[in-house]
Amino acid sequence: MEGFTGKRVGSSFALTEEECRRVHAAVVRILEKGGMRCDDERAAKLYEQAGCTLEDDGRLVKIPEQVVADAFTTCPSGFTIHGREPKNDVAIGTGEVHFATMTGRYIRDVRTGERRKATRQDAVEGARMADALENVHGLYKSVMWIYDEPKIINSQILVGEMMKNTTKGMTWVYNTGAPNEIPDLVKLWQIAAGGAEALRERPHVLGHVIVNPPRVIDVNYTDWMIGFADAGIPITVYSATMAGATGPATLAGMMVQVIAETVALVVLAQAYKPGHPLCFCSFNPSMDMRTGLWSFGNPEYSTLGTGIAAMARYYGVPCVAFGNTDSCDTDQQAAYEKAMVLFNYALAGISLTWTLSGTAGFNFCAWDQMVVDNEVAAFVGHYLKGIRVDDERLSEETILKVGPLPGSYMHEEHTRRWYRDEFLMPELSNREFFETWERGHTELQEKAKQKALEILDTHESPVPGEVQDEIDEYLAHVRRRDVE
């Protein structure tokens, strides 16, 4: 699946190359002098094998510069999150910009506008919506949580329904911590791929491995790192460090800590499985000092994000990101915050941003929002092209031919040839003059809702029946084992 490309991809970052070098030097000092607290014995052993020193009975790991350098030499510069149909393959780290869905603790019902807890049916619909929209290149959890299913098998049902309703790639972060969560999800991904070997050859999942900030390697994410690596699933490594709370209040200081934490995970992952594909991720808000909550809408968030993207480029690995707004309503704040984040990321060449459908931080997902975001993605993608300059586009011949007034380009074949290519034709955004608009128009939100309903009515799952059946069988087995 072709993402958005263009000469403005990778044209703007929050750090210069020289500043990246300075951050790296500070990262090295932090990892050598301060190290990481390591709560996992397997991780401690891996660090030791890689050449790190263990102190405090194996609970503190100090990572030398050479170990860091060695780890990056085995990292691939890019990888693919495969679709379960090749047309949905997404290249990470090649300069293409992609967008994927976000999730929400709750859902804003597209039919009624009601804010409520998500159900299994919502999980299905979210995946179908994502499968249908052209600027959705992948999925995060179609809903965060399925409230009408038991906790102990929630992740399994969510993944199962996603696998039954789309062939686009997905991403996964730890959800319930249920004892069988990892093996069950791996099994479901294998069934969806067509077997364990098929998943290894064409992994359609990106797995998240995270540090507990500040600077703790924990048991839980070590479990996930091993699970993903063993199954052949590429990973994104990062920390959810929050400026002013679990990380420094200076953005430069945040870069030092966040990158130190990220690099520690790179070392761990490459120690476990040299050559395993990985990428960095932007997920570092500042703390709003009035509420104590994280802010994804404030400029610090994506500023740090493009700093992380700069550091990823410095180390030669790709970068992905989360994008959202803090507004709890579908309003101007939501629009300007999200648009700025997405635009910022795209200019930094971030390969994949989870954003479509998300609203109000992580509070809500909504299918009409996914439709609006689909259009925003198109805008951002178009900006990335900049002005394409070549002999044909310079149009000297046509300019001379049309001549001064009364010449007009409206009649030219040249115009017919080029306008669809060069101009964006937005589906939802108003382009009418006021008086026309006043005579009769449909609100943006209503247009988005109508499109969402149309998709839900007509878009069928592309997943073959046999695969859906096999998934259902496995989910039934899981339910018998854990619930009944």
Partner 1 sequence: MAEHTEYFDRVAQAVVDCDKDTCLRLLDEGGDIDPLEILEKGLGKGIRRIGDDFGAGRVFLPELIGAADVMKAGVAVLDERIKASGRARESLGKIVIGTVRGDIHDIGKSVVASMLQANGYDVVDLGIDVDEAEFVRVAQEEKAACVGLSSLLTLQIENMGVVIEKLKDAGIRDQVKVIVGGAPVTQEFADEIGADAVGYDAADAVAKMKTLLGH
Q: Where are the alpha helices (DSSP H) in 251-389?
A: 251-272, 299-315, 332-347, 367-385
CB of 1 to partner 1, least distance (A): 33
Nearer to partner 1, 291 or 332 (CB): 291
Nearer to partner 1, 246 or 344 (CB): 246
Nearer to partner 1, 92 or 185 (CB): 185
Within 10 angstroms of residue 95's Cβ, the number of other Cβ atoms is 17
316 lies in the site for partner 1, by CB under 8 A: no
CB of 103 to partner 1, least distance (A): 12
**The binder of partner 1 chosen from 20, 287, 312, 346 (CB under 8 A):** 287
Q: Where are the alpha helices (DSSP H) in 104-248?
A: 120-132, 154-165, 181-193, 196-201, 219-231
Q: Rounded to whole angstroms, what are the CA distances from 455 to 121, 128, 200?
A: 15, 8, 32
φ/ψ region of 360 (left if φ > 0, alpha if ψ in -120 to 50, else beta) reads left
Nearer to partner 1, 53 or 175 (CB): 175
* H/E stretch holding 282: strand 278-282
290 lies in the site for partner 1, by CB under 8 A: yes
CB of 105 to partner 1, least distance (A): 5
CB of 290 to partner 1, least distance (A): 6
CB of 294 to partner 1, least distance (A): 10
Distance CA 164, CA 3 (A): 24
Distance CA 137, CA 99 (A): 6
Nearer to partner 1, 117 or 411 (CB): 117
Distance CA 106, CA 356 (A): 15
Give yes or no for a contact between 139 and 1, defined as CB atoms under 8 angstroms apart. no
Residues touching partner 1: how many (CB under 8 A)?
15
**The binder of partner 1 chosen from 196, 293, 424, 453 (CB under 8 A):** 293
Distance CA 140, CA 128 (A): 13
CB of 38 to partner 1, least distance (A): 16
One symbol per residue from 98 to 137: x for binding partner 1 (CB under 8 A), - otherwise; what is it?
Answer: -------x--------------------------------
DSSP per-residue codes, 128-167: HHHHH-TT--BBS-SSS--TTS-GGGHHHHHHHHHHHH--
Contact window for partner 1 (CB under 8 A) among 243-251, 263-271, 331-339, 389-397: 243-251
CB of 250 to partner 1, least distance (A): 13
Q: Which two tokens stand for residue 83?
A: 């679709």
CB of 245 to partner 1, least distance (A): 6
* H/E stretch holding 217: strand 216-217
Please give the backbone phi and psi of residue 317, each rounded to the nearest 5 degrees, phi first. Answer: -125, 160
Contact window for partner 1 (CB under 8 A) among 77-85, 232-240, 283-291, 342-350: 283-291
Distance CA 116, CA 261 (A): 36
Burial of 60 (0-12, 13-18, 19+ CB in 10 A): middle
Nearer to partner 1, 147 or 383 (CB): 147
Which residues, 134 to 173, sit near partner 1 by CB under 8 A? 145, 151
Nearer to partner 1, 298 or 395 (CB): 298
Contact window for partner 1 (CB under 8 A) among 159-167, 184-192, 289-297, 464-472: 289-297
154: Cβ contacts below 8 Å, ≥ 6 apart: 145, 146, 175, 176, 178
284 lies in the site for partner 1, by CB under 8 A: no
Nearer to partner 1, 38 or 91 (CB): 38
Nearer to partner 1, 147 or 409 (CB): 147
Nearer to partner 1, 15 or 360 (CB): 360
Nearer to partner 1, 142 or 351 (CB): 142
Q: Which amino acid is at 336?
A: Y
Cis-peptide, bond into residue 248, ω within 30° of zero: no
CB of 87 to partner 1, least distance (A): 36
Contact window for partner 1 (CB under 8 A) among 282-290, 313-321, 336-344, 379-387: 282-290
CB of 76 to partner 1, least distance (A): 33
Distance CA 323, CA 97 (A): 13
Distance CA 274, CA 224 (A): 17
Q: Rounded to whole angstroms, what are the CA distances from 313 to 22, 368, 423, 440?
A: 14, 35, 31, 49
CB of 291 to partner 1, least distance (A): 8
Nearer to partner 1, 291 or 458 (CB): 291
Give yes or no for a contact between 92 and 102, defined as CB atoms under 8 angstroms apart. no
Which residues, 244 to 263, sit near partner 1 by CB under 8 A? 244-245, 249
**The binder of partner 1 chosen from 155, 212, 236, 327 (CB under 8 A):** 212
Contact window for partner 1 (CB under 8 A) among 13-21, 123-131, 242-250, 342-350: 242-250
Contact window for partner 1 (CB under 8 A) among 53-61, 62-70, 194-202, 286-294: 286-294
Distance CA 98, CA 206 (A): 14
Residues near partner 1 (CB under 8 A) are 105, 145, 151, 176-177, 212, 244-245, 249, 287, 289-293
